[in-house]
Amino acid sequence: MRAANGPPVPLPPRTCRRWASVATDYLGLAAALAGLILVFSLSTQHFFSRTTFLTIANQIPAAVLVATAMTYMLLMAEIDLSVGSVLGLCSCVLGVALTRWHWPLPLAVVAGLATGLACGAFNGGVSLHWRLPSFIVTLGMLEIARGGAHAVTRSQTQYIGAPIAGIAETHALGLSLPFLMAIAVVVIAQGVLTRTVFGRYLVAIGTNEEAVRLSGIDPRPIKLTVFLITGLLVACAAVIDTSRFQSANPNAGSGLELQAIAAAVIGGTSLLGGRGSVVGTLFGVLIIAVLNSGLASVGARDETKRLVTGAVIVAAVILDQVRHRLGKAGAS
Amino acid sequence: MTSGEPLLTVSGLGKSYGPVTALARVDFDLRRGEVHALVGENGAGKSTLSRIIAGITPADTGQMSLAGRRFAPRDRRDAQSCGVRMVMQELNLVGSLTVAEGLFFDCLPHRWGWINYPQLHRQARSLLDRVGLQGLDPGRALGTLGVGQQMMIEIAAGLSRRCDLLILDEPTAALTDAETGHLFAQIAAMKAAGTGILYISHRLEEIRRIADRISVLRDGRKVTCLPSAGVSLDEIVRLMVGRTLDKAAERTPRPPGPVALEVRGLRRGPVVKDVSFDVRRGEILGFAGLMGSGRTETMRALFGADLPDAGTVRLQGSSDPAVIRSPQDAVRQGLALLTENRKEQGLLLPLTVRANITLPSLTRFSGSAGWVRRAAESVEAARWIAALAIRCRGAEQPVAELSGGNQQKVVLAKWLLRDCDVLIFDEPTRGIDVGAKFEIWQLLEDLAAKGKAIVVISSDLPELMALCDRIAVLSAGRLAATFLRGEWTQHAILAAALSGYLTETSQ
C-alpha cells in the first residue's frame, strides 16, 4: 500500500447517512406496495386475509429467483430472454427423470439444475466467444429450450404427484421452504451486488465495459459467471414450480422473461445497465403479485388485469425517471 | 450592413443552477465582422453564456438584443432561424449517417420524401471543398472519421446555413494544424461578409492570432474586455486565473534512470508500421505527430488493448520480452494507459469518485470471500482526493459531476493507487482549463521525480516542449525523429511530423 504517500485523511462518510439513503431508495416502492394493499383491502373484504398473503407467498418464489437473475443480467447491460423456456426445460427434465426413468429424487433434481447450468453456459459461452448480443443468443435459446421441453416430454405434461410435493410443502416458522429460499437468495444477491468485488465489477461493466477492460480487468469471466448464475437460479425456480404443481408441463414458464424484466424495471433497474438493485426487484415482484391477486379478488377479468399491469409498468418507469432526474438536479 | 456596428448586445445576463451561480450580471457585446474571443477557466461561465445566446439554455435574468431588436430565443431552432448558430464542443453527429447526410440532416433535398442523392452529394462536395476537405468522400460514414475530421464536418454544417452570428466552442481542440488553417481561412471569409463570431478557446496563441477583442470571464463575472492587439499571453492568463504563472520557464533536466519500457518494431494494421522507442525511469517522453500518425494506436497496441501484429516490448530492463496480450497483462506488469477519451474509455461516469479510483485495485480491498472492505476503500479514496487536490464534495460524489480537469485527476489517482511504473497519457489536458492544466503538468513532473516512466501524447506542441525530457515524433506510423530537450525547435518537430507523408506520396 502507498500509505506513506498522502497527507492526513478525513474520516469516511458516516454509515448512518448511507443507511438513510438506502431507506429513501426503497421508500417509494414500499409506499406503492402499501398503497396497493390498502386500495384492495378497502375495495373488497376478501382481500386482506391470511389466505391471500399465503397464496402470494406460495406463488412468488420462482418469480423472485428468476427476476433476481434478470436483475443481474440487466445491471450488466445484458438480457436473458430464455429464462421462461429454460425453466420449462428444467422442469421437464426433472419430471421425465422421475416418471419415465425412475431416478431417485435427489438425482433428478441435480439433472434439472445441471440442465439450467448448461443452458446458462451455452448462452454465455456463445455470446462471449462470438461477441454476439445476449438478446439474440438468448432469443435463440428461448426456442431451443422450449423445443427441448416438448421433445423430452413428447409434449405430454408429466404428472409426478407426491414424490416431489415435499419440497414446496416443507415449512419452517410458518413459511414454506421455497419462500424462505427466495428471501435468502434476495438477501445474498443484494449483498454480493453491493458489498463484493464481483458486484462492483458487475455494476462497472454495465456502466462502461470498455473502461473496465482498459482498467486491466477482463469482463468475460464475470459475465460468464452471471450467465451461469442465471441458469442455476432459473433451474431452482423450475424445481420449486414443479413441486408446487406436482407436474412438469412443457409450456411452463411461458412469458416469464417479460414478467421478470417488468419486475426489475418496476424496482428501478435500468435496461441500459449499471443501475438497479435486487431488493428493488423483490418489490417489483411483490407489486405485480399483489396487483394480480387484488384484481382477481375484486373480480377483474383477465384482460383487465393485463391492461392494468401494463399501465403500472409504464407508470413505474416514468416515476423512476422523474425521481432520478430530480435527484440529479438536486445534486448538481 | 457595415462592419463595426453592434450585432448582439447582452446586458445583466445571469444564470444559476440551484445554489451555484454560473453567470452573474454579465454585459457583453459583439460587433458585425468581429471575432470576439471568450476566455476563462472551466466553470468561468463561457459555455453558459454561449449556450444562452444560442438558445440552448434559458437565462434567469437580463436581456439580449440582436441587430437592434429584442432577442429571446425559445430554443436552439428559434435562435438558428434568427441566424445564430453554435458549433458544440461535444460532437452530436450520428455515426451511421454519411458525411453528406450529416451535413444537411435538417434540410435533406428530397422529392416526396425520397432523398435526391446526386444533388445532396453535389452540395456536400462544394461545402467540403470550402473547408479544405477536398479528399473526403461525401458518401463515407461519419463514424469512420477521426475526431478532427468530424469536428470540421460539424463546423461545415454550421457554415452551410444562414448565419449572422456563429459561436465556436473549442473548435480546434481536435484539429490538426492544417485543419486549423482551413478553419481560420473560413473565419476570415465570414468576418469579411459581416458575420460576428464568438470564439471560445483555451488556446491563447490562437486567440491572439484571430480575435479582435477578448473578453475574460472568471467565476461567472466578466473581468474585462480588451482589444487583442498588444495583449501578452501572460496578461490574459493572469486575468483568467487571477495570479501569474511562470511555468514556461526552463526546467532543470533530471538524471535519467534505467530503461523501464523498451519497444521494438511494433506494428499494428495499416496505421502503426514500425515503432521503436525506450522510456527511462524518471523521464517524461513526449509523442508528437499529426492527427492519424498512429500515436494512439501505438499505445493501444503496446498496452494490449488492440493486439499488435509484430513487435516486442521489454519491461524494467528484462532481457525477455513481456507477454502482453490484453490490458490485464499490461496492468499486471505495471503499465497504465490513460486514454484520450476519458469519458468513454477511462471513467465510470455515474459511479462515485471512490469506485472509480479503486476499480483497478479493488482486489486489494477485498477480505474473505471477495467482500469489499468499504472503510479502507473510503480512506484510500479520501487520501488520493487530498493528494491530487481533486475538487469534489467528497468520495461519494458521482464523477460525472466533476469538471474535466478533476475527472482527469480521478483517472490519474486510479492508476497511482494501482502503483503502475510506466504511465502512458494520451492527450492528458484536452478540454481542460489553464489552471488545471498546470496542476496536471506539475503532477506529471512529480511522478517522474519519483521514478515513474512517463509517456505523453499531445497535439499541443508547447505543452510537450514545456513538459518533456525527450520528444519522439511519429509520422505516418513510423518513428520519424527523437529530440532531446534543448535540441528541438517547433519547426524541426513539425518538419519531422510531416516527413513520413512526403516520402509516402513520392513512392
Q: Do A200 and B372 touch (CB under 8 A)?
A: yes
Give A42's contacts (C-beta < 8 A, 6+ positions apart). none
The C-alpha cell that represents B280 in the structure block: 527511462
What are B393-447's pLDDT values in tens digits? 889 999 988 888 889 999 999 999 998 999 999 998 877 777 788 888 888 998 9
pLDDT at B3 over 70: no
The C-alpha cell that represents B97 in the structure block: 449517417
Chain B residue with minimum CA distance to A196 = B371
Q: What is the CA radius of gyration of chain A?
A: 21
What DSSP assignment string belongs to B62-87?
Answer: EEEEETTEE---SSHHHHHHTTEEEE
Residue of higher predicted confidence among B285 and B21: B285
Alpha carbons within 13 A on the beta-carbon side of A52: 20
If pLDDT is split at 50, 70 and 90, which confidence band does A332 have? Answer: very low
Q: Identify the pLDDT of residue A74.
A: 96
Distance from CA of A200 to the nearest CA of B (A): 8
pLDDT average, residue stretch B18-35: 84
Residue of higher predicted confidence among A311 and A8: A311
Q: Which residues pair with B115 in a beta bridge?
A: B110
Residue of higher predicted confidence among B108 and A137: A137
From chain B, the residues in CB contact with A275 under 8 A are 350
What are B30-68's pLDDT values in tens digits? 999 999 999 876 667 888 899 899 988 888 898 899 988
Q: What is the CA radius of gyration of chain B?
A: 24
Say if residue A89 is exposed, middle or buried (CB neighbours under 10 Å; 0-12, 13-18, 19+). Answer: buried
Instruction: Answer whether A299 touches B (CB < 8 Å).
Output: no
Chain B residue with minimum CA distance to A209 = B345
Least confident piece of the model among A56-60, A300-304, B144-148: B144-148
State what percent of residues in chain B have pLDDT above 90: 31
Taking the C-alpha atoms of residue B82 and residue B163, their distance in angstroms, rounded to an integer, is 8
Q: Identify the pLDDT of residue A4.
A: 38
Say if residue A258 is exposed, middle or buried (CB neighbours under 10 Å; 0-12, 13-18, 19+). Answer: middle
pLDDT average, residue stretch B216-237: 83
| C-beta of residue A72 within 8 angstroms of C-beta of residue A83 | no
From chain B, the residues in CB contact with A5 under 8 A are 383, 387
Instruction: Give the nearest partner residue to A6 out of B326, B328, B386, using CB atoms.
Output: B386
Alpha-carbon distances, residue A7 vs A1, A10, B381, B382, B388 (angstroms): 14, 10, 12, 10, 10
Q: Quick one: fold of B6-83+162-241?
A: Rossmann fold (3.40.50)
Q: Identify the pLDDT of residue B219.
A: 78
DSSP 3-state of A248: strand
Q: Identify the pLDDT of residue B251.
A: 61
Least confident piece of the model among A117-126, B156-165, B313-322: B156-165
From chain A, the residues in CB contact with B364 under 8 A are 1
Domains of chain A: 28-331 (1.10.3470)
Instruction: Answer whether A4 touches B (CB < 8 Å).
Output: no
pLDDT at B197 over 70: yes
The C-alpha cell that represents A300 in the structure block: 377483474
Residue among B468, B454, B465 nearest B424 (CA): B454
The C-alpha cell that represents A205 in the structure block: 461493466
| C-beta of residue B210 within 8 angstroms of C-beta of residue B172 | no
Instruction: Answer whether A201 touches B (CB < 8 Å).
Output: yes
DSSP 3-state of B336: strand
Alpha-carbon distances, residue A28 vs A241, A280, A323 (angstroms): 30, 10, 10
Q: Identify the pLDDT of residue B507.
A: 37
pLDDT average, residue stretch A86-91: 97
pLDDT at B314 over 50: yes
pLDDT at B95 over 90: no
Taking the C-alpha atoms of residue B469 and residue B451, their distance in angstroms, rounded to an integer, is 14
| C-beta of residue A198 within 8 angstroms of C-beta of residue A266 | no
From chain B, the residues in CB contact with A208 under 8 A are 344-345, 347-349
Residue among B287, B269, B282 nearest B337 (CA): B287
DSSP 3-state of B10: strand
If pLDDT is split at 50, 70 and 90, which confidence band does A34 have? Answer: very high
If pLDDT is split at 50, 70 and 90, which confidence band does B172 have? Answer: confident
Q: Do B386 and A2 touch (CB under 8 A)?
A: no
Which segments of A56-155 are extended strands (E)?
A: none
pLDDT average, residue stretch A130-150: 96
| C-beta of residue A284 within 8 angstroms of C-beta of residue A264 | yes
Q: Do A211 and B351 touch (CB under 8 A)?
A: no
What are B202-217's pLDDT values in tens digits? 777 788 889 999 998 8
Residue of higher predicted confidence among A328 and B219: B219
The C-alpha cell that represents B161 in the structure block: 446555413
Instruction: Give the nearest partner residue to A197 out of B350, B362, B417, using CB atoms.
Output: B362
If pLDDT is split at 50, 70 and 90, which confidence band does B20 have? Answer: low
Distance from CA of residue B165 to its chain's centroid? 24
Instruction: Tell me the count of A-B CB pairs closer than 8 A.
Output: 117
Least confident piece of the model among A18-27, A47-56, A146-155, A239-248: A18-27
Chain A residue with minimum CA distance to B376 = A12
Taking the C-alpha atoms of residue A144 and residue A132, their distance in angstroms, rounded to an integer, is 17
Dihedral pair phi/psi, residue B64, rounded to 5°:
-130, 150
Q: Which of A160-164, A328-332, B233-237, B382-386 has the highest mean pLDDT?
A: B382-386
Distance from CA of B302 to the nearest CA of A (A): 12
Scanning the structure block, which residue is given the C-alpha cell 430554443? B75
Choosing among A75, A188, A200, A272, which should be mutated to test the B contact, i.e. which has the most B CBs within 10 A?
A200
Residue of higher predicted confidence among B218 and B94: B218
Residues 104-133 of chain A whose Cβ lies under 8 A from any Cβ of chain B: none
If pLDDT is split at 50, 70 and 90, which confidence band does B160 have? Answer: confident
Taking the C-alpha atoms of residue B211 and residue B197, their distance in angstroms, rounded to an integer, is 9
pLDDT average, residue stretch B233-246: 65
From chain A, the residues in CB contact with B397 under 8 A are 331
Q: Identify the pLDDT of residue B94.
A: 67
For B77-116, b/e burial (b = at least 16 CB within 10 A) is eebbebbbbbbbbeeebeeeebbbbbbbeeebeeeeeeee
pLDDT at B250 over 60: no
Q: Which residues pair with B425 in a beta bridge?
A: B338, B456
**Torsion over CA: A210, A211, A216, A217 (sign):** negative
From chain A, the residues in CB contact with B332 under 8 A are 216
Taking the C-alpha atoms of residue B366 and residue B369, their distance in angstroms, rounded to an integer, is 8
| C-beta of residue A88 within 8 angstroms of C-beta of residue A240 | no
Residue among A72, A56, A88 nearest A186 (CA): A72
DSSP 3-state of A52: helix
From chain B, the residues in CB contact with A10 under 8 A are 382, 386
Q: Do A332 and B401 touch (CB under 8 A)?
A: yes
Say if residue A194 is exposed, middle or buried (CB neighbours under 10 Å; 0-12, 13-18, 19+). Answer: middle
| C-beta of residue B257 within 8 angstroms of C-beta of residue B241 | no
Distance from CA of residue B94 to its chain's centroid? 20
If pLDDT is split at 50, 70 and 90, which confidence band does B335 have? Answer: very high
Q: Identify the pLDDT of residue B205.
A: 77
State what percent of residues in chain B have pLDDT above 70: 91
Q: Identify the pLDDT of residue B486.
A: 82
What are A152-185's pLDDT values in tens digits? 999 999 999 888 888 888 777 778 899 999 999 9
What are A245-283's pLDDT values in tens digits? 999 999 999 999 999 999 999 999 988 889 999 999 999
Taking the C-alpha atoms of residue A192 and residue A233, their distance in angstroms, rounded to an integer, is 15
Taking the C-alpha atoms of residue B475 and residue B289, their distance in angstroms, rounded to an integer, is 6
Residue among B425, B426, B494, B437 nearest B466 (CA): B437
Q: Which residues pair with B66 in a beta bridge?
A: B8, B69
From chain A, the residues in CB contact with B401 under 8 A are 331-332
Q: Identify the pLDDT of residue A93.
A: 97
- Identify the DSSP state of A104: -
Beta strands at B221-227 and B470-475: parallel, antiparallel or unpaired: unpaired
Dihedral pair phi/psi, residue A21, rounded to 5°:
-70, -35
| C-beta of residue A54 within 8 angstroms of C-beta of residue A307 | no
pLDDT at B248 over 70: no
CATH superfamily placement of domain B266-506: P-loop containing nucleotide triphosphate hydrolases (3.40.50.300)
pLDDT average, residue stretch B227-236: 80
Q: Identify the pLDDT of residue A233.
A: 98
Cβ-based neighbour number of residue B478 at 10 Å: 18
Query: Which spans in chain A are helix H?
Result: 15-43, 50-75, 83-99, 105-129, 134-153, 162-169, 177-195, 197-207, 209-214, 219-245, 256-266, 278-297, 302-331
pLDDT at B294 over 90: no
Q: Do A216 and B375 touch (CB under 8 A)?
A: no
Q: Identify the pLDDT of residue B293.
A: 82
Residues of chain B with CATH 3.40.50.300: 6-83+162-241, 266-506
From chain A, the residues in CB contact with B43 under 8 A are none
Distance from CA of B503 to the nearest CA of A (A): 35
Question: Does the complex come out with an ipTM higher than 0.85?
Answer: no
DSSP 3-state of A233: helix
pLDDT average, residue stretch A314-327: 79
Choosing among A214, A217, A225, which should be mutated to test the B contact, i.e. which has the most B CBs within 10 A?
A214
Q: Which residues pair with B264 in a beta bridge?
A: B312
pLDDT at A46 over 70: yes
Instruction: Answer whether A195 touches B (CB < 8 Å).
Output: yes
Residue among A238, A256, A243, A257 nearest A149 (CA): A238
